[in-house]
Amino acid sequence: MSTPLSCQLTDVPLYLHAELLPNIRQITLYVSLPPGPTLDGVRPEIQLSESRKAVTVSLPEPFQHVTETIKLPARVGDASRRALTAPAKPTGPSCSSDFNHDYSFRMQIDPNEEALVPRDELIDEYVPWTAADMSSRTRIQCRRCSTAFLKSSDPLKVPSSDENQSTTAEWIWKDLPSGNWAEMMDFWHCHKPDPHEGQPKDEANAAHQIEGQTAQIKGYGAASQVVAIPGTVLIDVATFLVAESDCTGLKKGHEEQFAPTTSGQGNLECDQCHTVIGMEDPSANGWRLLKANVSVNTYPNDHENGDLQWHNHPIEVIVAAQLLEMIERESARRFVVHCGQENGLLLWVFNPDLRYSNTSSGHSVMAQEAMKVFFQETVDVERLLHPEMGKVTPLSVEELELPSVIFKAVSDALKSSNQMLPPSARRFNEWQVGLLSRFRRST
């Protein structure tokens, strides 16, 4: 006995995906129907909401029970109603079964929409967990088993005016300078102005000596470097730098999970679950804890009696922040990402600030923010990073080296997001297309 057509799609809903294209002031809406000959000739019916911030897609009889609604990344103009009622045409090669039920529509954004206001995607709000998010009572623990990594006792005892008492100093959190800080300092010292002509030699030497002392005190001297400070947690894009004496619940590991550029840096493992939490940093005389592998309690000081609430970020969000920081610092968009092995990923950050929405499982129908990344797998990382002498290479790439667990998580996130996209949007020439969720500070 054959199954009625109206029942064949009960468990296979429509899939909708919308992307904001601010440069051309449009939103692209993809509508994907379940594959199969049952829907040949069936065209979706699309209705724009009164607010023009959502669309509802349904199928005609006998599939009228199949319907889906999606929130758009921005408000569209009223003229978009005509675009959505125009006859839909399949996207992609008509001969391909992957595309013959995939449709796309372009809608103009409302001229007064706030999403069109220019914004700088490369500002500090893309970095999760900065010093501004922390309080003196913030602590760090293992993301997997909740083992504490900062000693529960206060790290410093500061003498008070009463010789028999002491004042407890709580944790201090400070942001580290950008990654090109040392480079800028070298440049400044190489190009700083010469003494004024006619200035007495003794006076010039004295001024030079004072300048050098001031540079060392303020941290911009040529020999200055970042070092861990007991009682203080220094924060960069991907790690927390802490003094070894301030840590607990960690042990030095033996398995090498970092590539040659981190030679001399031993792994730090959680005492309880043996997860790799970070690495030693001899040059900074401290330990670096990976943001991707920890949870942080960030509740403020005025909630003395409140329950502790621990937060963590998806690994891909931390790596996306690293890529954004390198885009800002190096003005690069193509990266070789690897974990010290011969194979890795070649990434092209096509759009660092994508706003999109979709109806796939596990995603909110509300607008989300991500980086649109084109990626390829490569079996020869060294060849991309160091091409043969005299051989012309079409790519200018930067290197991002990750621990193996984090590299795998990013690779899985890209491949998973690729399958989330409509079939016609999953490839661009020889590149696969994926999304990496990015952090944006709520206002």
Segment 276-320, tens digit of pLDDT: 999 999 989 999 999 999 999 865 544 555 567 889 999 999 999
| Whole-number pLDDT of residue 33 | 81
Query: Quick one: average pLDDT of 369-391?
Result: 88
pLDDT higher than 50, residue 94 = no
Average pLDDT value for the chain: 78
pLDDT higher than 60, residue 270 = yes
pLDDT in tens, 140-197: 999 999 999 998 654 444 444 454 444 444 789 999 886 665 555 555 556 555 555 5
| Whole-number pLDDT of residue 266 | 83
Contact 138, 298 (CB under 8 A): yes
Query: Quick one: average pLDDT of 31-45?
Result: 75
As a whole number of angstroms, the distance between CA 324 and CA 313 comes to 16
- Domain range summary for the chain, segments of one domain joined by +: 5-116, 129-176+226-311, 315-437
- Reported as a pLDDT band with limits 50, 70 and 90, residue 128 is very high
pLDDT higher than 90, residue 408 = yes
Residue 338: both structure tokens together: 């690897």
| Whole-number pLDDT of residue 91 | 63
Residue 73: both structure tokens together: 């990344």
- Reported as a pLDDT band with limits 50, 70 and 90, residue 415 is very high
Query: Quick one: average pLDDT of 321-327?
Result: 93
Chain-centroid distance, C-alpha 129: 12
Lowest average pLDDT, out of 174-178, 196-200, 417-421, goes to 196-200
| Whole-number pLDDT of residue 187 | 55
| Top-confidence residue, 102 or 166 | 102
Looking at the chain, the whole-number percentage of residues with pLDDT higher than 90 is: 43
378-387 burial string, b = 16+ CB within 10 Å, else e? beebeebeee
As a whole number of angstroms, the distance between CA 398 and CA 335 comes to 5
Q: Assign domain 129-176+226-311 to a CATH class.
A: mainly beta
300: preceding bond cis by omega (within 30 degrees)? no
CATH domain 5-116 topology: Immunoglobulin-like (2.60.40)
Chain-centroid distance, C-alpha 64: 40
| Top-confidence residue, 374 or 360 | 374
Residue 194: both structure tokens together: 């010469």
| Whole-number pLDDT of residue 147 | 94
- Reported as a pLDDT band with limits 50, 70 and 90, residue 103 is confident
| Whole-number pLDDT of residue 231 | 92
User: 194, 32, 22: which is closest to 105 by C-alpha?
Assistant: 32
| Top-confidence residue, 252 or 124 | 252
Considering the entire predicted model, what is its pTM? 0.80
Looking at the chain, the whole-number percentage of residues with pLDDT higher than 70 is: 67
- Reported as a pLDDT band with limits 50, 70 and 90, residue 359 is confident
- Reported as a pLDDT band with limits 50, 70 and 90, residue 205 is low
Length of the chain: 443
- Reported as a pLDDT band with limits 50, 70 and 90, residue 55 is very high
As a whole number of angstroms, the distance between CA 288 and CA 293 comes to 11
Contact 268, 280 (CB under 8 A): yes
